[in-house]
Amino acid sequence: MKDEKIKIYINDKPYIVKSGQTIMQAADSIGFHIPRLCYHPKLSVEGACRVCIVQVQGMNNYVASCAFPIQDGMKIYTNTPELRQARRDIVELLLDNHPEDCHTCERNSNCELQRLAMSMGIKKRHFVGEKKHYNRDLSSPSIVRDPDKCILCGRCVRICSEIQNVHTLTQAYRGFKTVVIPAFDEDLAESVCSTCGQCINVCPTAAFIEKSYTQELFEKLNDNSIVKVVQFAPSVRAAIGEAFGFEPGTQKENELVAALRKLGFDYVFDTQFGADLTIMEEASEFLERLQNKQKLPMITSCSSAWMKYLEQFHSDLIENISTCKSPMSMMGALIKTYFADKIKRDKKEILSVAVMCCTAKKYEAARPELMIDDVRGVDIVVTTREIAWMIKSAGIDFVNIKGKGFDNPLGLSSGGGAIFGVTGGVMEAAIRTAYELYTGETLIEIELEELRGFNNIREGKIMMEGKEIRVAVAHGLGNASKLLEIVRKEPDRYHFIEIMGCPGGCIGGGGQPYAGSSSIPLDENVLKKRAEALYGLDRNKTIRRCHENPNIQKLYKEFLGRPLSSLSHKLLHTHYSAKKPEGILPAEFKVR
Amino acid sequence: MNNKEFVIILCNGSSCLKNKSNDIKNELIKQLEKNNLLSKVEIHLSGCLGMCAKGPIMIINPGYVIYGNLKVENIETIVQRHLIKRELISEFIIKEDHLFNRFFRIFGDVNFFGRQMRITLRNCGIINPESIDDYLSVRGYEALAKVLNEMTPAQVIEEVKKSGLRGRGGGGFPTGKKWELTAKVEAKEKYVICNADEGDPGAFMDRSAIEGDPHTILEGMIIGGYAIGSQKGIIYIRAEYPLAIKRLEKAINDARAEGFLGNNILGSNFSFDIEIRLGAGAFVCGEETALIHSIEGYRGMPRPRPPYPAQSGLFEKPTLINNVETWANIPVIILEGADWFSSIGTEKSKGTKVFALAGNVVNTGLIEVPMGITLRQIIYEIGGGIPNNKKFKAVQTGGPSGGCLPEQYLDTPVDYESLIKAGSIMGSGGMIVMDENTCMVNIAKFFLEFTQNESCGKCTPCREGTKRMLEILERITEGKGEVGDIEKLERLGNMIKKASLCGLGQSAPNPVLSTIKNFREEYEEHIKDRKCRAGVCQRLLRYIITDKCIGCGLCKKVCPVKAITGEPKSIHKIDETKCIKCGLCYSKCKFSAIKKD
Amino acid sequence: MEKELDKREEELIKYMDEKKKLEYPESYLIAILHKAQELYGYLSKEIMLKIAYYMKIPTSHIWGVATFYHYFKLKPIGKYVISICLGTACYVKGAQLILDKLKEELKINIGETTEDMLFTLQEARCLGACGLAPVIMINEKIYGDLTPEKISEIIKEIRKKEKKLQSNVAKN
């Protein structure tokens, strides 16, 4: 039925298309891009913005092409003068209730509303009137909510509920007074928000943006009394090029190192080193749990949005969580101790900055549980977007920059560390190491295809000395909840689980560059290309197993002793506890 | 009724006497004595009822049940079944006696009622709505029995289709077609919904129908459930109607107790039950997809169609939604037959329509009229015309979704197509009459204010567009209108009509567009001459002190902006540049010396 | 007082338990909110939280629903709830003047409650008493054929009654 071909007419020209599609899908398939706003292929169809309206012969009213199914012989008009004016007026109505501050807006030149206004040819405004006004919600360490800029497309509400299963946001009140807001009109900081930042990713305007720390960072970079150290996550290098016009999937590791030095950082380290270290600790912890018959399955803890979500929504499973800090926080701890000792500076004289693909890391860095004595391991977290802006703002020619290598001792990493950025990567890296730690033999087949890809939940098996180790991977908090439901029902089904809070893993993080004019937020093709960039980095490394990283070995020899040593525990491990407000996972839920 | 349970009227005209009505009387008394009922029944002998061909005739009250062609040996049956078991004996009932005529018999000599034709409201005011026995006494649930005993679901649908009944909620979609579509979808579970979320300002048709005759709605729904293969009915009703809710609850319980609801209704294989769900104050929930979302416990926001509720409605199951008035027609259609029903009304609009007649008309209230009656007949013959010798200006039908029709449309027949052709709609039944003192711009603003306030906020045209239209209207009524405003209203209005997601938005501009079409000069006056001819728009008024002024100084004292000057005992003056048109001077002047212009 | 609180909560929980047994329990959210408002007079955050956790419905969703429907009160209401009908018939017959007078007398806007918690002013769409237009409803009682002057009297009357009541309480 679905593969049946039917004939439709678009603007009087016949086309043969697959049946069972919406008008928009059919039009897309033959090269007509109908303008759209509230539609997102990963989310339920809302049909609310009415930007994608078309005329269908025989219908009195326009229909939303995102929702209306095609039929054989249907005559569709996408561009009549009357329709163009209606569409234009609809977009103008959105503009009329939107701040007039494009030139100072974070999304300037990268805003879907702006693009639409441009493509509609809105030169004059006819319907200017009262604008809504709300206070900006600056309470969250990660996310800023600015309802004045909201055009009520509902994508944030839908991704937060349908994909992430967090249900932080709702549309409250109604009509002209509708506003997207957490329960009881409370601030994000008081809500169940996981700080994952997916709302930012899908927001067409700047109604959701990250809490920016760029000004503070620019000031600190000019302070010569401190040592400025920066690390950046695997996924940052896989995506930052997009902010400078490079094709998705163009990795810019060395260029970013060079640009960060130019920005004024004294040392540029690699979070992938922290990833290698995480694997050492995590794999050891897993084996310890396995051998001592402690709580299993063990679940990874690198994703900070996932950790916050766990503490609020799944606190009954806290014992299953690995006590390992995230790679960023392990790095932060080492920068303030191991590295501080090396350069003989007090940890208070070191500014530790992390460039992350993630908004939740801003929250993580501020967690009191992660303090190193009385200082934070990571002082400032900026996102891929923020650092790209800073590079541009400082006048650094990123496009033509000559690449540079990382500083040592925290700059060398294995391929296992690189693939941390993509869903399934932590598990893959962990297996590479755990296998060898357990069996004493080197795992040869290290590319674990069954753990790769973007299927919601993926399972795998590996035999270690005749023992079957069953693992599972989930990405996105909604899938995480589904996987945990399985765990609750079948506690023995898995030994080891990787969970990443964002769809696609860190490469799809809430701090990554905005979709360009020719792609959509969280475009699976873009995610695939970013993932491929990281797999490519892995393949091109001679060292692909974390434990083979000589600097890691040196670190243990010189400083930590061995994995799970008491110093490791002090610096590299943490604890989790149930937090308020407790989240609610509904049995069945649709967003309406 | 003199403490008697029954009053029996026996025709004592010569024709009936000839047919042994005396014997019948004697037999009746004998039977009553035998059953110890004499004290409970009062017997009247009446003069000739005129229906001599059917004599002898007996009328039993309550219920105004008329039995005809009686024979002496029938009397025992009547006493046993009607008076003791309280059943109707349909074989004795005079068949030509249509259900609705009972109302007419009682109230027909009052002109207000006489011009009406009550089908859906046939029992309202006649029976005790809290008594299932009363309902049974007017052939209640007989249609259901007929359907279950004699008709297949397909036959029921065919009958409804043949009747030509169309949805009374406003859209006018053929009811039988809707039933057929829902019946055709194969599914284990299906729902039948009664939309009682009546929300038009000034409309209370559904409330009165439910409060007056709740069982009719239930009976209609049960028949609908049988026809489409559903076992579950839901009545979605406004929480603001506590009495209607109470009566429905009682009716449902009584119907359950009597076996009209529940498992194996009347011994058949058909099971059906009804549940009440309350709305919570959102006009948009009258829209069927919004209503479904509301029942599901969500914000009452519509979704794009298709899929239509017939395919995927409540809980994603096929769902049949009709409004109160539509359901109330069903038992009549079944009992009286589609042929009879379709003999009423016009070619495309069959049956009757209930209106809430309000505004500047002598008889405000609830009326039910045959389709095809003209607006003039409703307003002048039923409504009694315009009070206070004022001139008629416009009639608004369809509530906030409808339009305002001026004098030249008064002879428009009331049916779906004619009203649309005239520039309004049938709607759910609001009908507001306006006299010359009504400002059409202001009334358009009033309706738009309502829809704007009730917009769910989901789609852009309705959420943002109605707001902008309202702002323009506010500007015009405040004397700040600009040339070009009318065109902007038309441009926005037409776009909102065609681009909005649901019926609320698609019809919200109607009051504005129809008043622009029919009363454009009033808009122009407001904008160009800063004048409101009806004297309604406060800000456009000019207050002038006439020579009736005796110079008492009261107006000067009350004026909040000191716009009035004048020496005591001389004529005062209003400085128009200062005047804020609050009207305080006007209302305080004891000598009617201040004139509004 | 506390005892009464317990009783109300008990009743709410009993009500929710009944709904939980039915098909699609979460679809009864609006019914449950009705029940809670009936018991407590308005929907406080505490009550909504209780419902959320008991019914396993996200708080954001409850908030979205509670704010969507105008019937639900999110703040405590006054002893006398004055609903002014702004239906068409009343509007045509001067409801605006009545509303202006009410606002003036009570010094509150629609949707607000006087500081002494005596009056809450709200609008109604149509009270179905169009023959008596313009009308208001105070709690369950309808007042028709109103003029601004009559409004003053009605309010004065209630205030007088309440004052008397208060002084009686004080005396006792």
> What topology is assigned to C80-171 in CATH?
Glutaredoxin (3.40.30)
Show which of residues 55-114 on chain A sit within 8 Å of chain B, judged by CB atoms. 60-64, 67-69, 85-86, 89-90, 93-94, 96-97
| pLDDT tens digits, C2-61 | 566 689 999 999 999 999 999 999 999 999 999 999 999 899 999 999 999 999 999 999
The two structure tokens encoding residue B243: 């009495």
- Provide φ and ψ at A516, rounded to 5°: -80, -175
Using alpha carbons, select from A354, A318, A319 the residue that is nearest to residue A333: A354
Give residue B102's pLDDT: 57
Q: Do C65 and B283 touch (CB under 8 A)?
A: no
Put simply, whether A176 touches B (Cβ < 8 Å) is yes
Look-up of token digits 């004045």: A148
Give residue B549's pLDDT: 92
pLDDT surpassing 80 at residue B172: yes
Counting as low any pLDDT under 70, the low residues of chain A are 1-2, 588-592
Residue A63 CA to residue B509 CA, distance in Å, equals 18
Put simply, whether C56 touches A (Cβ < 8 Å) is yes
Helix (H) or strand (E) holding A534: helix A524-539
- CA nearest to A69 within chain B: B306
| pLDDT tens digits, C113-129 | 999 999 999 888 777 67
Best residue in C70, C125, C135, C140 for a mutation probing chain B (most B CBs within 10 Å) = C125
Put simply, whether B294 touches C (Cβ < 8 Å) is yes
Whether A451 and A462 have beta carbons less than 8 Å apart is answered as no
Rg over CA atoms, chain C = 19
Q: Do C126 and B201 touch (CB under 8 A)?
A: yes
Look-up of token digits 């008491």: A566
DSSP B338: H
Q: Do A85 and B495 touch (CB under 8 A)?
A: yes
Put simply, whether C70 touches B (Cβ < 8 Å) is yes
- CA nearest to C140 within chain B: B242
Look-up of token digits 């208001």: C136
pLDDT: is A394 or B597 the higher one?
Answer: A394
| pLDDT tens digits, B196-231 | 998 887 778 898 899 999 999 999 999 999 999 999
Put simply, whether B329 touches A (Cβ < 8 Å) is no
Give residue B35's pLDDT: 87
Put simply, whether C22 touches A (Cβ < 8 Å) is no
Closest CA–CA distance from residue A588 to any residue of chain C (Å):
8
Residues ≥6 apart with Cβ < 8 Å to A380? A213, A216, A217, A220, A351, A352, A353, A354, A365
Q: Do C56 and A170 touch (CB under 8 A)?
A: no
Put simply, whether A170 touches C (Cβ < 8 Å) is yes
Q: Is the ipTM of this complex over 0.90?
A: yes
| pLDDT tens digits, B230-240 | 999 999 999 98
Q: Which residues of C touch B203 (CB under 8 A)?
A: 126
Q: Do C30 and B280 touch (CB under 8 A)?
A: yes
CA atoms within 13 A on the CB side of A256: 31
Q: Which residues of B touch A96 (CB under 8 A)?
A: 464, 468
Q: Do C26 and A588 touch (CB under 8 A)?
A: yes
Q: Which residues of C touch B296 (CB under 8 A)?
A: 24, 27
- CA nearest to A125 within chain B: B488
Give residue A419's pLDDT: 96
pLDDT surpassing 80 at residue B21: no
Q: Which residues of B touch C72 (CB under 8 A)?
A: 280-281
- CA nearest to A96 within chain B: B464
Of A182, A583, A586, the CB nearest to C26: A586
Closest CA–CA distance from residue C156 to any residue of chain B (Å):
21
Helix (H) or strand (E) holding C99: helix C95-106
For residue A169, which amino acid is it? L
Look-up of token digits 């049949």: B320
Give residue B101's pLDDT: 58
State the catalytic residues of A: 282, 285, 302, 322, 361, 364, 369, 506
Q: Do A171 and C64 touch (CB under 8 A)?
A: yes
- Three-state DSSP at B381 gives helix
Look-up of token digits 């990250």: A210
Give residue B1's pLDDT: 40
| Omega before B568 within 30 of 0, i.e. cis | no
Of C53, C56, C60, the CB nearest to A183: C60
Of B301, B463, B506, the CB nearest to A61: B506
DSSP C119: E
Pairing state between β B594-596 and B543-545: antiparallel
Q: Which residues of A touch C63 (CB under 8 A)?
A: 170, 172, 181-185
pLDDT surpassing 70 at residue C1: no
| pLDDT tens digits, B528-571 | 999 999 988 888 888 889 999 999 999 998 887 888 999 999 99
Helix (H) or strand (E) holding B339: helix B338-342
Give the length of chain C: 172
Whether A545 and A442 have beta carbons less than 8 Å apart is answered as yes
Q: Do C65 and B360 touch (CB under 8 A)?
A: no
DSSP string of A379-402? SEEEEHHHHHHHHHHTT---TTPP
DSSP string of B173-216? -BHHHHHHHHHHS--S--EEEEEE---STT--HHHHHHHH-HHH
Q: Do C26 and A585 touch (CB under 8 A)?
A: no
pLDDT surpassing 70 at residue B53: no
Residue A260 CA to residue A254 CA, distance in Å, equals 10
Put simply, whether B322 touches A (Cβ < 8 Å) is no
Q: In chain A, what percentage of residues exceed pLDDT 90?
A: 95
Give residue B8's pLDDT: 86
* Torsion sign across C-alpha atoms B357, B363, B369, B375: negative
Whether A413 and A272 have beta carbons less than 8 Å apart is answered as yes
| pLDDT tens digits, B459-491 | 999 999 999 999 999 999 999 999 999 999 999
Q: Do C53 and A582 touch (CB under 8 A)?
A: yes
Going from the C-alpha of A236 to that of each of A194, A199, A508, A525, B198, the distances in angstroms are 21, 19, 10, 17, 56
- Three-state DSSP at B83 gives helix
- CA nearest to C52 within chain A: A584
Give residue B542's pLDDT: 84
For residue A458, which amino acid is it? R
Closest CA–CA distance from residue A488 to any residue of chain C (Å):
18
Put simply, whether A1 touches C (Cβ < 8 Å) is no
Give residue B562's pLDDT: 86
Question: Which chains share 3+ C-beta pairs under 8 angstroms with C?
Answer: A, B
Q: Do C128 and B204 touch (CB under 8 A)?
A: yes
